[in-house]
Structure 1
Amino acid sequence: MSIHNLDRMFRPKSIAIIGARQKPDSIGAVMMRNLKGSGFDGEIFPVNPLRSQIMGYKAFRSVDAIPFPVDLGIIATDIAEAPKIVEACGVAGMGGVVIVSAGGKETGAKGRQIEAAIRQKAEAFGLRVIGPNCIGIINSRAFLNASLSRRMPIPGKTAFISQSGAICSSILDLSTTDQIGFSHVVSLGSMLDVDFGDIIDYLGSDPYVGSIVMYVECLTHFRNFMSAARAVSRVKPIIALKSGRTQSGAIAAASHTGAVSGVDAIYDAAFKRAGIVRVKTFEELFDCSELLAKQPPPAGTGLAIITNAGGPGVMAVDMLQDYGQAPAALSSETFQKLEQVLPAYWSRSNPVDIMGDASPERYLKAVDICLNAPEVSGVLVLFSPLAMSEPVRIAESLGAYLQDKPKSVITSWMGGESVEPARLIFNRAGIPTFDTPERAVRAFMDLYRYAQNIEVLQEIPPKFHRRLEFNRDRSNCLVEAHIQSGRHEMTEIESKTLLAAYGIPVNPVLFAASEDEAVQKAIGTGFPLAMKIFSSNISHKNVPNGTLLNIQNPLEVRLAFQNLMTGVASSPPLPGIQGITLQPMLTLPHHELKIGAKKDPDFGPVLFFGSGGNISDVFRDHAFALPPINRHLARIFIEETRISKLLAGFRNLPAVCIELLEEILMRVSQLITDIEHIDELDINPLFMGDTWASAVGARVIVRHSPIPSPLHLVISPYPNEFENKVFREGFGELLIRPIRPEDAPLLLSLYESLSPRSIYMRFFTPLRSFQNSMLVRFTQIDYDREIALVAIQENTGEEKMLGVARVILDIKQHHAEFAVIVSDACQGKGIGAELLSQCLTIAKGRGIESVMGVVLTENTQMLALGRKLGFKITRVSGASEYELTINFKDAAKMTA
């Protein structure tokens, strides 16, 4: 989450080009020409020890010879010289450098050494680095083309980020033809320092950036990336093409980025969790760029299709069906309006076939009616070049009418030379146009997926009817003891003991070292039974004939024990065979599922769920999710598998209790969240009946993790460590804890209990209702970026929220802002002071140096609270507000 000095790089007042040259085809000369030609109005300082002047600019022999402040350095020399130049740029006080030179880690060990030296020099001065092996950066609003691209895009509100310089150049070249505007184009190259997470964070705070499109080969700093993407995607669409989807593609990507990308299905899960829409082809990426640049994202899937021929309409419908959608169901009112303007023989359906002889006027009337229909979210206008049609006149008529419409409108003028002038008209008018109906529908649906993703992610998760309890201490002791023993794989007994400590239902396992002990325990357990070879060193699955099923009586127990032990003895010697295990066989009708987790080298612990039992490795029906998850995310997790369709009941299989399955998934997620040493966890099979569940097979592998919990996750989990209890006179014992997504109903009750004055004091405006999006924003927070503590009063099992204090962090600026609200009945009772005081303590512990807030002059209670906690109170000039500021360094000096 570092945007430190990025504004100096993207909005520089002065630039030094180190390696500037006069030779026309040199990198330094191209960079000079592009900067000069882009209209950049800042200072340009060429650096070349052999020349006194380059392209009309005075040249300097070295960076330290420039007598003026410099914001940005462009390094266009041999990469071997880069460490020394970076040091000089740091000494000169630059904000950052762009290294276009290749020859870094993608070349091997020598390149990695050079990059390490560059990083060391840059970090010593807080100097930001983009590259190496990139083509530079563009900011069209700042008239900055500090890149090797020959084209400067027209200004727009879409930003494009890419690891590949060639993809940047290609997008820019195509954008000129289709009149697609970009706010920024950023070529990241090897991402020695500045990476996707940094740029997403920076662009997310830029009011002139409306959407972000990315070409990704690999990621770095995964936790920062997920945090930035989750925050920004709530307000701005993020579209990504992640290449290296296949093993061969990943190897090819590594050859020029120097980094290998991870398991593709896990990237899918991560992007979806972050609210990113993933596309699979360059064509899709470009089409989404065009649609984002020219139209608002569609709010729904209600697409009206207007066409002058049947075939193109059918093609569009088929493409919609591929996305599981159908054309908009037009209302009777819309049909009546169309009847009045269309020929008697029109299609009377959607697609709206307005016939091959459709005039510009007929097109315009049909489009106008559909655009104004409330059931329509977007309009696709299709044209096929027939002898009696007028492609250019129709395009001119629509181009003038369709500009700045609030709904998505896309066109597809099919054909070649005869329709090219019409496409040009649409491009100049800012109307997205595609050469086929399929491309148009696909772009429309890709952008709808963004709205769908955000809607799903921001849904308020339901609570369980009871609080989920976990025995963290016992589980940690089990795992720590196992690691100290030097073993990695837990036995089935140990694995199930660990699962049971987290409330996961398990099929009990009993150990027997002798035949008599096996009989005794079998009688106590009941029949039928399964018996397995037991060893602390090897799994029963690795022992031929190591399992016997359906044992029905004590005699069969004796025979089974003898057969198992004899079979082991006759096999090649196996170490550590200590006896057998017994567990009940579950005979009630059930589904066989699989739940587990595994550490991914990129995203850390990843959950998986799907079909279980003997067919699980063949059927390969599973989904991935990143922990932590709540009930809502658990339901989505389940629904992404094919077996989920059977869980409602199928033939002799019962309908399972989905709430119970959600709970088990959440318990596994919490276990993985709390214990960082779990390397693998596999529950297979998990039997699910109508109202019951049981982990029949369980396997856990543990390895010491140098990264403590919760930092081993890429998504910050609920911080249990901030829970505590306080006593307040008149209220009894209150629970102070971080806010949860499930708290939205409690927060709404708190807001609805407030007087109009209290609402105005908190929000600076009168609010008559509280939208769902507002509740989501305040409860579904990123705990890395925001602290929100609530005071909860528990009364006969019911919870009541009495107040909330929050501090929004800006980690890299070491600054934060606070807000507090307490129910009217609790004001002046010390609850707000307790909440804010604890928030300040957490902020200070995270390296925050100062916290501020704005308070209205009439909010005397808040002003009194600020004085009590040591805030400096300053009247805002020309406003009816006070600014409250506390500087922890100053406060420490005063108390020293």
Structure 2
Amino acid sequence: MSVRHLQHLFQPRTVAVIGASDRPHSLGEIVMRNLRTAGFTGTVWPVNPGHGRVAGVQAWPDVQSLPETPDLAVVCTPAATVPELIAQLGRRGNRAAVVLSGGMQKLTANGQSLQSLMLQAARPHLLRILGPNCVGLLVPHLGLNASFAHLSPKAGKLAFLSQSGALTTAMLDWADTHGIGFSHFVSMGDCADVDFGDMLDYLASDPRTEAILMYMESVQQPRKFLSAARAAARNKPVLVVKAGRAPAGAKAAASHTGALAGGDDVFDAAIRRAGMLRVDTLQELLDAARTLSRARPPRGDRLAMLTNGGGAGVLAADALALGGGSLATLSGPTLAALDAVLPAAWSHGNPVDIVGDAPCDRYTDALSVLMRAPEVDGVLFMQAPTAIVPSADIAAACLPLLTQGSRTVMASWLGGRAVAQAVRFCEEAGVPTYDTPEEAVSAWLQVVGHMHNREALLQTPSSRPDDWQPDVAAARRIIEAALAEGRSLLGEGAAKQLLAAYGIPVAASVLAATPAQAVLAAEGIGFPVVLKIVSPQISHKSDVGGVALNLRDATEVEATALAMLERVRSLRPEATLSGFNVQQMVHRPGAHELIVGVASDPVFGPVVLFGQGGTAVEVLRDRAVALPPLNAALAEDLVARTRVARLLAGYRDQPAADRAALSRVLVRISQLVCDCAEIAELDINPLLADGAGVIALDARVLLGPLRGDGRGRLAIRPYPSELARPCSLPDGTRVLLRPIRPDDEAALAHFYETAPTEDMRLRFFARRGCVPRSELARYSQIDYDREMTFVAFDAADTQQSRLLGYACGLSDPDNVNVEFAVQVASWVKRHGLATALMRTLRDYAADRGAARLVAECLPDNLAMAGLARSLGFNVQRANGVNQLRLELAASSPATPSSPAAPAQLQLPAA
């Protein structure tokens, strides 16, 4: 349900404790004590039918008797009482409750769980519920401790969300010991209503929260979670620890891909795509939060190291190499500049060892060179104390360089008392500082990982390819024919036809029913050939000797086919043999055997897998997975996350493989799974890759039933390119209307910078100067699921750099109300563009099943009110503003928003 009514949960003025008690150590007693002692300045009302006073204050017998409707209710009563209490709270007007009670999964006499009954009671009132089975919530800057935790943390800038009650209290204890404060501290419990997606939506725009930390055990609504995570990660670091890294056991699957794509790998892929950062431990979670909130974002992953001791440099370099990081290769000019300021004994490489007797100016001179070097993205400054110069003096001399440059910097002061003042200077200046070189390198790798994940966040693959056209109709015919015949597993021949329909190179093959037909097929293809058995019961043919290579004549083909028949009958007597697949023998010496596939994750839906292929694929387990849709950049990132990527780059006399051709295959497989929802698993193994390109030698596809909207199974909605269309304004101006993209941010920034002050006031209800980068990112990087923004560009503007206007709509969680806004550039007003944008947004919302468009505008915004009336909106004054409302069921869309909509729209002037 997103953020609706969450302000009552986290900013209450009044709190009712249902089940408040004076009984020592009871839930009701602990909650009352925490609320009264943590510094909450609002009103607390205990509710207990058997006591007139609780905790020394007046108590009320029930919800109805409370003097006012509470903003927040904390329910501490047994599970069986909860549904009726929630119903009473809803009728009273309460809109937020924390349910601490456990045991809500228990079934009642009618077969429904208590939790289900609780949600049914809350739904008519849109009453939001945190929990059940949770510790509660704490908002330290309000002094709000609506929990049974044993501590109240101090106020800070980190938000912590936990699905584990035990870890909630453990983290509180650890944070208290280390003096760490929080903006929000929330035990999520069973997430029956308020879940991680809701919390991310709320905290993304919370000004007191600089970073969001999460301990997760499961994801309830993957698309909602990823949508919220992507929105939050654009504004601030979002860090995750998730339980369940180790696989519970191997999965039996019809393909190698199904066996390889484990749930934890898929969760990693989702985290990367959403721009979040995953860490392994709670300690790393807090360390990463401190680093990301302080460190300057890096430009790249090349790290230079400056040290006064060779040992520290070696330790740091080793840690970087083991972590997969990149040590900057210093250029000739940089080495020459260092030679000019360092003694002859310096290391002449990276790490830059300036020798232990270094005075302050040697540090600053070397640091100045590294901070200017174009081949350096980050600098790790390390210093071990000496008797020559106090560490504090070195810190004071170097801090201006460390804090004012454009490079990401980190410091490691080795020692204890001797470096304590230097550490304090760095921390006060905001320079991330670590006790050991290894800790500093780990922090650098986290920063780089976060950078790469945020780069993936900016990628917006289209739902419809621009540079090639797959034969979707042919693919549909292959799939539908198999399903009509009751076949779920496509044989190699049909699977290759499916791949060929999407432009993926495949080896020529012919299906033969008998050994004699296999001979004829081989003669037609041309020798040498490959012979493979065809059986729906045998997925991996090589396991039963069902693959023979390099057969050079008809006699060899026939003899091999007969031997295969005999062997399969002996080893797998229950298997049905459909015949043989006779395939062109592809001779590509030195080509790499790869695997490309698709698997279906029970949480995040389809995933694309890439890795090293061949018969030992499940032993090598060199693979990476990504969520579709993919584009070339995401495909290249998928390849780069495997060990085989280094082989594909070429080595010794082995030329590099055609990475562009490989990326095209991955993008096209992604498009195939987006277009054909029946594909449950897909294997191309091996896919041969070398400098001449790629070719699929073997393939299999497992089909499954289509349930509901095929695109709805995707965890990330593709960029809806089918909604782009040209239109003509009444004066003949031709414009392009399309959904916004992340790369429109610069055009949007220029649009706001050049907009008249009065236009900005009418749009944002206040005079505004520069729109901050985080806000621009929020507007241009939308999820195309809950949000839609249509932008307009002059059709002649091929670079699409000058934005003419936009209309944006944000749907509520139930897709009932769509809140909209529209703004056009001053030089195109009264040309009908605002009307065009609003009609496009209206028709899109209607097609999505929304009930109405709603907005507010200032009373002096006469143009907006007039536009609304011309489109059939009801315009009424209320609470000092004009309320705009259009019932979509009663409106008549002038142009459908389907891909088949006419390209020319003639619109009246607005």
Provide the TM-score with structure 2 as the length reference. Answer: 0.80
What are the Cα deviations for residues 19-43 of structure 1, in whole angstroms up to 9, with x where unaligned? 2222343332222222112221211
1:817 equivalent in alignment to 2:829: no
Counting aligned pairs with the same residue, the percent is 35
How far apart are the structure 2 equivalents of 1:120 and 1:550? Answer: 66
Does the CA contact (< 8 Å) of 1:3 and 1:202 recur in 2? yes
Task: Look up the equivalent residue of 2:702 and give its one-letter code.
Answer: I
How far apart are the structure 2 equivalents of 1:772 and 1:39? Answer: 36
Task: Look up the equivalent residue of 1:66 and give its one-letter code.
Answer: L
| Structure 1 residues without counterparts, runs of 5 or longer | 251-260
How far apart are the structure 2 equivalents of 1:365 and 1:550? Answer: 65
Residue of structure 1 in register with 2:629 after alignment = 628
| 1:836-847 equivalence runs, <5 A | 836-844=838-846, 845-847=848-850
Task: Look up the equivalent residue of 2:885 and give its one-letter code.
Answer: N
Does the CA contact (< 8 Å) of 1:240 and 1:279 recur in 2? yes
How far apart are the structure 1 equivalents of 2:772 and 2:47? Answer: 56
Task: Look up the equivalent residue of 1:686 and give its one-letter code.
Answer: L
Taking only aligned residues, the RMSD between alpha carbons, in angstroms, comes to 5.3
Cα displacement (A) at 1:172: 2.9
How far apart are the structure 2 equivalents of 1:114 and 1:363? Answer: 71
Does the CA contact (< 8 Å) of 1:299 and 1:448 recur in 2? no
Residue of structure 1 in register with 2:258 after alignment = none
Residue of structure 2 in register with 1:670 after alignment = 671
How far apart are the structure 1 equivalents of 2:143 and 2:810? Answer: 32
Task: Look up the equivalent residue of 1:245 and give its one-letter code.
Answer: R
Cα displacement (A) at 1:823: 12
Task: Look up the equivalent residue of 2:887 and give its one-letter code.
Answer: K
| 1:477-496 equivalence runs, <5 A | 477-496=477-496
Distance 1:665 1:339, change over 3 A: closer
Deviates more, 1:599-608 or 1:828-837: 828-837
Distance 1:38 1:540, change over 3 A: closer
Deviates more, 1:153-162 or 1:562-571: 562-571
What are the Cα deviations for residues 76-113 of structure 1, in whole angstroms up to 9, with x where unaligned? 23333323332332222222221223335599999993
Task: Look up the equivalent residue of 1:787 and give its one-letter code.
Answer: M
Cα displacement (A) at 1:629: 0.8
Cα displacement (A) at 1:446: 1.8
1:472 equivalent in alignment to 2:452: no
Deviates more, 1:863-872 or 1:604-613: 863-872
Cα displacement (A) at 1:346: 9.8
Distance 1:511 1:847, change over 3 A: same
How far apart are the structure 2 equivalents of 1:586 and 1:720? Answer: 38
Residue of structure 2 in register with 1:3 after alignment = 3
How far apart are the structure 1 equivalents of 2:596 and 2:327? Answer: 34
Task: Look up the equivalent residue of 2:218 and give its one-letter code.
Answer: C
Does the CA contact (< 8 Å) of 1:760 and 1:767 recur in 2? no
What are the Cα deviations for residues 331-364 of structure 1, in whole angstroms up to 9, with x where unaligned? 9999999999x99999999667796999xxx699
Deviates more, 1:45-54 or 1:645-654: 645-654
How far apart are the structure 2 equivalents of 1:768 and 1:334? Answer: 45
How far apart are the structure 2 equivalents of 1:475 and 1:601? Answer: 25
Residue of structure 2 in register with 1:257 after alignment = none
What are the Cα deviations for residues 235-292 of structure 1, in whole angstroms up to 9, with x where unaligned? 1111111222114699xxxxxxxxxx97222111111111111111222112223445
1:172 equivalent in alignment to 2:172: yes
| 1:576-725 equivalence runs, <5 A | 576-589=576-589, 590-650=591-651, 653-719=654-720, 722=723
Does the CA contact (< 8 Å) of 1:628 and 1:717 recur in 2? yes
Cα displacement (A) at 1:471: 2.7
Residue of structure 1 in register with 2:852 after alignment = 849
How far apart are the structure 1 equivalents of 2:679 and 2:433? Answer: 51
Cα displacement (A) at 1:131: 1.7
**Residue 888 of structure 1 is aligned with which of 883, 886, 889?**
886
Residue of structure 1 in register with 2:192 after alignment = 192
Q: SS of 2:88's equivalent?
A: helix
Does the CA contact (< 8 Å) of 1:754 and 1:823 recur in 2? no
Deviates more, 1:371-380 or 1:289-298: 371-380
How far apart are the structure 2 equivalents of 1:394 and 1:131? Answer: 53
Task: Look up the equivalent residue of 2:13 and give its one-letter code.
Answer: K
Does the CA contact (< 8 Å) of 2:751 and 2:802 recur in 1? no
How far apart are the structure 1 equivalents of 2:46 and 2:361? Answer: 56
How far apart are the structure 2 equivalents of 1:431 and 1:80? Answer: 53
How far apart are the structure 1 equivalents of 2:834 and 2:292? Answer: 44
How far apart are the structure 1 equivalents of 2:749 and 2:145? Answer: 49
Distance 1:405 1:688, change over 3 A: closer
Distance 1:129 1:576, change over 3 A: same
Residue of structure 2 in register with 1:127 after alignment = 127
What are the Cα deviations for residues 611-642 of structure 1, in whole angstroms up to 9, with x where unaligned? 12223222211110000111111111111112
What are the Cα deviations for residues 757-800 of structure 1, in whole angstroms up to 9, with x where unaligned? 799979999999999999977765311133244679999x9999
| 1:418-567 equivalence runs, <5 A | 434-458=434-458, 467-535=467-535, 538-539=538-539, 541=541, 544-567=544-567
Matched positions, count: 871
Task: Look up the equivalent residue of 1:681 and give its one-letter code.
Answer: L
Q: SS of 1:887's equivalent?
A: strand
Distance 1:811 1:182, change over 3 A: same
Deviates more, 1:833-842 or 1:265-274: 833-842
Task: Look up the equivalent residue of 1:817 and give its one-letter code.
Answer: F
How far apart are the structure 2 equivalents of 1:292 and 1:548? Answer: 55
Cα displacement (A) at 1:328: 11
Distance 1:279 1:610, change over 3 A: same
Residue of structure 1 in register with 2:148 after alignment = 148
Distance 1:614 1:721, change over 3 A: same
Q: SS of 2:544's equivalent?
A: coil
What are the Cα deviations for residues 542-586 of structure 1, in whole angstroms up to 9, with x where unaligned? 783333322223343444444444555566544543332211111
How far apart are the structure 2 equivalents of 1:863 and 1:819? Answer: 12
What are the Cα deviations for residues 655-693 of structure 1, in whole angstroms up to 9, with x where unaligned? 333222211111110111122221111111112243443
Does the CA contact (< 8 Å) of 1:158 and 1:292 recur in 2? no
How far apart are the structure 1 equivalents of 2:112 and 2:423? Answer: 48
Task: Look up the equivalent residue of 2:841 and give its one-letter code.
Answer: C
How far apart are the structure 2 equivalents of 1:462 and 1:703? Answer: 25
Deviates more, 1:533-542 or 1:369-378: 369-378
Cα displacement (A) at 1:490: 1.4
Task: Look up the equivalent residue of 1:655 and give its one-letter code.
Answer: A
Cα displacement (A) at 1:755: 13
Provide the TM-score with structure 1 as the length reference. Answer: 0.81
Does the CA contact (< 8 Å) of 1:306 and 1:367 recur in 2? no
Does the CA contact (< 8 Å) of 2:154 and 2:180 recur in 1? yes
Deviates more, 1:528-537 or 1:491-500: 528-537
Task: Look up the equivalent residue of 2:240 and give its one-letter code.
Answer: A
Q: SS of 1:710's equivalent?
A: helix
Does the CA contact (< 8 Å) of 1:459 and 1:776 recur in 2? no
Cα displacement (A) at 1:233: 0.5
What are the Cα deviations for residues 186-233 of structure 1, in whole angstroms up to 9, with x where unaligned? 111222221111101110121222211111222221111111111111
Residue of structure 1 in register with 2:15 after alignment = 15
Distance 1:619 1:380, change over 3 A: closer
How far apart are the structure 1 equivalents of 2:540 and 2:378? Answer: 59
Task: Look up the equivalent residue of 1:30 and give its one-letter code.
Answer: I
How far apart are the structure 2 equivalents of 1:71 and 1:886? Answer: 28
Does the CA contact (< 8 Å) of 2:153 and 2:181 recur in 1? yes
Distance 1:136 1:553, change over 3 A: same
How far apart are the structure 1 equivalents of 2:704 and 2:723? Answer: 28
Deviates more, 1:519-528 or 1:279-288: 519-528
Residue of structure 2 in register with 1:258 after alignment = none
Deviates more, 1:61-70 or 1:636-645: 61-70
What are the Cα deviations for residues 144-168 of structure 1, in whole angstroms up to 9, with x where unaligned? 1212333333322221111123333
How far apart are the structure 2 equivalents of 1:183 and 1:249? Answer: 39
Distance 1:428 1:482, change over 3 A: same
Does the CA contact (< 8 Å) of 2:18 and 2:47 recur in 1? yes
Higher relative contact order (CA 8 A, sep 6+): 2
